[in-house]
C-alpha cells in the first residue's frame, strides 16, 4: 500500500508541475508540448532528479502517443484537400525525399555514426501537426490556400510516419529483409484496415453518430471505444498501437460529427500527451541532453532554412503564387514532436543511445519554439520580404492569396422555423452554414446542398469550422443566454445577428450586447395575432388564403416557397 501511495503522489506531482509549465509556455506563446518536455527535464535526472520513470508512466506514455496520433487522424479530412490533391502528393513525395536527404547530410556532416545518421535523417522531416493546426486555426488561416496545402502535406506525412514506425520496429536496421518484411506487413495491414475504415466511415459510422450526436457522454464513449478497437487489433497483429490509433482517427474524421468528437475526446488526449512528452524529458540526464547541444543548434538553424527553401521552391513549382509558396513553406519549417516519437522508439529498440534522443529533443524544442512566432507573423514577414522576391514572380501573378472574406450566413440550431428561411438566406448570402447537434432532417439539408456541422456550438472548433468570425449574418434559435452571448462575441462588428430569448430580461441583455433583433415568442405572438385580426376584419379573402397556407404547412410540413 505504501508503494501504491508513493506512486500516486509522484504521479500527481508530475501532473501538477506539467500543468504549471504548460500554462507558462502558453503565456509566452509557446506550444504546451514544450512545457511538458521541460517538466520531465526539470523534475527528472537532467536537473533535480525528483522523479524517475515508472512502469505506470511508461504505460500511460505509450497510450499518450496512441491518442496523440488518434487526435491527429481526427483532424485530417480528405475533403479539405480534394481540389489540390495532385500537387499535394507531388509536394509531399518530392519534399520528403529532399528533406530526408538534407537531414541525412546534416547528420553525416556533424559526425554521427551510420545508424544514428539514418535515424536522425528519418526523424527530421515532419511538420508539427498539433502546433501548425492550432496556430493556423487561432489565426483564421486554416481555409487559406497555404493552410490547405500545409494540412494536405501533413496528412500524407503522417501516413509516411506510420511506415517509419514499422521500420524502426524491426529488430535490425542493417537487415533489408527484416525491414522489407515489417514494411510489407504494415502495408498489407493498412490496406485491409483502410478498406474496413472506408466501409465503416461510408455506411456504418454516419448512421451511428447521427443517432448519438445529441448525447455527449455516449459520443465520447463510442469515440474512445473505436480508438481502442483499432489499438487492440494492431497489438494482436504485432503492430504498433500508434498505427491503429492513427487509422481509427482518420476513419472517424470523415464523418460529419468529427469536429464535435475531437472536442469531446481532447481532454483525455491532452492528459495522455502530457504524460508522454513529460516521459521524454524523464528519460534524459543533463549529460545526455547536452551531449550534442552544439550540433543541435547548428542542425536547427540549417534545417529550418533548408526546409523553407526546399518547400518554397516545390510549392512554386506546382504553379502556386510566390505568396502562397512563402507562407506555406514558412509554416512547415519546424522539426516536430514526431522526431521524439521516432527517437524514443529507436532508443527502445537499441538503435541509438540517450544522447541522440537528447539531440532530437533540443532540435524539436528550438525549431517548434521559433516556428510558433514565424506562424504568428507569417504574412507580416512576407510583406517585409516581398520587395526582395519580386524578381522571382511570374508575369501576371496575383499578390493576394488570402481567401476573400466570405459573407455567408450561419444558423445555430435547425428546426421547422429555420427551414423556411434557408432559401431566403441562400438567395441573399450564397452560402448557409448550419450548426446543430442532432438535426431532425439532416438528409434534406445534405440533399439541398447546405453545409451542416454536427456538434455543440459551445465548442470553439465548431465555430471556427463554420467561419463564424467571417459571417455577415447569424441566426440563433437557442434560448440559452450563454450560447447567444458567445455568438455576439464571436461575430464581427458589422455582422447582423438575430438571437432568441424566452425571458424579457434576457432579451434586453442581448440587445445591450449588440443583437440586431431578439426573437421573443410572446412579443411575436402578440404582433402576429394583431396582424391576423386586422387581416380578418379588413380582407377576409386574404385571411382565408393565409389560413389555408398555414394549415397546409402544419399538416404536410412543407417549407414556405
Q: What is the mean pLDDT of residues 290-307?
A: 89
**Residues 211 and 303 both lie in one domain:** yes
**Residues 442 and 385 both lie in one domain:** no
**Residues 387 and 421 both lie in one domain:** no
CATH value at residue 83: 1.20.1530.20
Record the cell numbers describing residue 18, joined without a space.
506539467
- The domain boundary residue, chosen from 336, 364, 391: 391
Nearest to 335 by CA among 110, 129, 560, 51: 129
Number of domains in the chain: 2
Report the pLDDT value the prediction gives residue 559, as an integer from 0 to 100: 46
**Residues 444 and 369 both lie in one domain:** no
401 has a pLDDT exceeding 70: no
| Banded pLDDT at 179 (limits 50, 70, 90) | low
**Residues 432 and 523 both lie in one domain:** yes
The string of pLDDT tens digits covering residues 267-281 is: 777 787 777 778 777
> 398 in a domain, yes or no?
no
**Residues 279 and 374 both lie in one domain:** yes
What percent of the chain stands above pLDDT 90?
Answer: 2
400 has a pLDDT exceeding 70: no
The string of pLDDT tens digits covering residues 493-504 is: 888 888 888 888
**Residues 91 and 154 both lie in one domain:** yes
> 93 in a domain, yes or no?
yes
Contacting residues for 125 by C-beta, under 8 A, at least 6 apart: 96, 99, 100, 103, 157
> 402 in a domain, yes or no?
no
CATH value at residue 520: 3.40.50.720
Report the pLDDT value the prediction gives residue 298, as an integer from 0 to 100: 93
| Banded pLDDT at 245 (limits 50, 70, 90) | confident
> 397 in a domain, yes or no?
no
> 104 in a domain, yes or no?
yes
Domain range spanning residue 61?
Answer: 2-391
| Banded pLDDT at 369 (limits 50, 70, 90) | confident
Report the pLDDT value the prediction gives residue 253, as an integer from 0 to 100: 76
Q: What is the mean pLDDT of residues 381-385?
A: 87
- The domain boundary residue, chosen from 391, 426, 449: 391
* Backbone dihedral angles phi then psi of residue 247, each to the nearest 5 degrees: -65, -35
Alpha-carbon gap, residue 239 to 231, rounded angstroms: 9
| Banded pLDDT at 228 (limits 50, 70, 90) | confident
Report the pLDDT value the prediction gives residue 391, as an integer from 0 to 100: 81
| Banded pLDDT at 183 (limits 50, 70, 90) | low
> 286 in a domain, yes or no?
yes
Contact 334, 124 (CB under 8 A): no
Contacting residues for 165 by C-beta, under 8 A, at least 6 apart: 240, 242, 243, 341, 342, 345
Alpha-carbon gap, residue 376 to 331, rounded angstroms: 9
> 279 in a domain, yes or no?
yes
**Residues 8 and 78 both lie in one domain:** yes
Q: What is the mean pLDDT of residues 382-397?
A: 78
Alpha-carbon gap, residue 270 to 15, rounded angstroms: 11
Higher local confidence (pLDDT), 11 or 56: 11
**Residues 506 and 459 both lie in one domain:** yes
Mean pLDDT of the chain: 76
**Residues 376 and 453 both lie in one domain:** no
What percent of the chain stands above pLDDT 70?
Answer: 74
> 400 in a domain, yes or no?
no
**Residues 351 and 463 both lie in one domain:** no
Report the pLDDT value the prediction gives residue 553, as an integer from 0 to 100: 58
Q: What is the pTM of this model?
A: 0.62
In angstroms and rounded to an integer, the radius of gyration of the C-alpha atoms of the chain is 27
The string of pLDDT tens digits covering residues 328-339 is: 888 888 777 677
**Residues 329 and 454 both lie in one domain:** no
Contacting residues for 31 by C-beta, under 8 A, at least 6 apart: 25, 128, 130, 131, 134, 368, 369, 372
Amino acid at each position: 500500500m505504501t508503494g501504491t501511495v508513493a506512486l500516486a503522489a509522484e504521479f500527481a506531482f508530475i501532473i501538477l508541475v506539467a500543468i504549471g509549465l504548460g500554462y507558462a509556455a502558453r503565456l509566452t506563446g509557446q506550444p504546451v508540448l514544450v512545457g511538458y518536455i521541460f517538466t520531465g527535464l526539470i523534475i527528472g535526472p537532467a536537473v533535480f532528479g525528483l522523479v524517475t520513470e515508472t512502469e505506470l508512466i511508461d504505460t500511460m506514455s505509450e497510450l499518450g502517443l496512441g491518442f496523440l496520433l488518434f487526435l491527429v487522424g481526427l483532424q485530417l479530412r480528405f475533403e479539405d484537400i480534394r481540389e489540390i490533391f495532385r500537387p499535394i502528393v507531388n509536394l509531399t513525395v518530392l519534399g520528403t525525399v529532399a528533406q530526408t536527404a538534407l537531414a541525412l547530410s546534416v547528420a553525416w556532416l556533424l559526425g554521427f555514426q551510420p545508424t544514428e545518421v539514418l535515424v536522425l535523417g528519418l526523424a527530421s522531416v515532419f511538420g508539427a501537426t498539433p502546433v501548425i493546426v492550432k496556430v493556423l486555426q487561432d489565426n483564421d488561416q486554416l481555409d487559406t490556400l497555404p493552410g490547405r496545402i500545409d494540412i494536405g502535406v501533413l496528412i500524407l506525412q503522417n501516413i509516411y510516419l506510420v511506415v517509419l514506425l514499422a521500420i524502426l520496429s524491426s529488430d535490425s536496421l542493417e537487415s533489408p529483409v527484416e525491414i522489407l518484411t515489417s514494411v510489407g506487413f504494415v502495408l498489407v495491414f493498412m490496406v485491409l484496415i483502410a478498406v474496413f475504415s472506408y466501409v465503416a466511415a461510408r455506411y456504418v459510422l454516419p448512421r451511428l453518430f447521427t443517432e448519438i450526436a445529441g448525447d455527449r457522454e455516449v459520443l465520447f464513449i463510442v469515440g474512445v471505444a473505436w480508438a481502442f478497437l483499432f489499438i487492440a487489433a494492431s497489438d494482436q497483429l504485432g503492430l504498433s498501437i500508434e498505427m491503429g490509433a492513427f487509422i481509427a482517427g482518420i476513419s472517424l474524421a470523415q464523418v460529419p460529427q468529427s469536429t464535435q468528437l475531437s472536442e469531446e475526446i481532447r481532454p483525455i488526449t491532452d492528459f495522455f500527451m502530457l504524460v508522454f512528452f513529460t516521459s521524454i524529458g524523464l528519460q534524459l540526464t543533463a549529460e545526455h541532453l547536452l551531449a550534442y547541444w552544439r550540433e543541435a543548434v547548428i542542425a536547427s538553424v540549417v534545417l529550418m532554412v533548408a526546409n523553407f527553401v526546399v518547400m518554397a521552391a516545390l510549392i512554386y513549382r506546382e504553379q502556386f503564387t510566390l505568396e502562397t509558396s512563402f507562407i506555406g513553406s514558412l509554416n512547415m519549417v519546424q522539426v516536430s514532436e514526431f522526431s521524439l516519437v521516432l527517437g524514443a522508439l529507436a532508443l527502445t529498440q537499441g538503435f541509438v543511445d540517450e544522447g541522440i534522443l537528447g539531440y532530437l529533443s533540443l532540435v524539436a524544442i528550438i525549431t517548434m519554439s521559433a516556428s510558433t512566432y514565424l506562424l504568428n507573423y507569417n504574412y507580416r514577414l512576407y510583406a517585409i520580404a516581398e520587395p526582395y522576391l519580386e524578381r522571382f514572380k511570374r508575369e501576371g501573378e496575383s499578390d493576394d492569396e488570402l481567401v476573400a472574406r466570405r459573407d455567408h450566413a450561419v444558423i445555430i440550431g435547425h428546426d421547422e422555423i429555420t427551414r423556411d428561411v434557408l432559401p431566403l438566406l441562400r438567395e441573399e448570402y450564397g452560402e448557409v452554414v448550419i450548426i446543430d447537434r442532432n438535426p431532425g432532417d439532416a438528409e434534406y439539408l445534405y440533399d439541398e446542398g447546405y453545409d451542416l456541422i454536427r456538434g455543440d456550438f459551445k465548442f470553439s472548433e465548431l465555430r471556427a469550422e463554420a467561419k463564424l468570425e467571417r459571417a455577415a449574418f447569424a441566426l440563433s434559435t437557442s434560448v440559452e443566454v450563454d450560447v447567444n452571448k458567445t455568438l455576439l462575441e464571436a461575430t464581427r462588428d458589422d455582422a447582423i445577428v438575430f438571437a432568441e430569448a424566452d425571458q424579457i430580461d434576457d432579451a434586453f441583455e442581448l440587445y445591450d450586447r449588440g443583437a440586431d433583433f431578439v426573437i421573443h415568442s410572446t412579443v411575436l405572438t402578440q404582433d402576429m395575432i394583431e396582424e391576423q385580426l386586422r387581416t380578418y376584419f379588413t380582407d377576409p379573402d386574404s385571411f382565408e388564403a393565409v389560413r389555408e397556407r398555414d394549415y397546409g404547412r402544419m399538416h404536410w410540413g412543407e417549407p414556405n416557397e
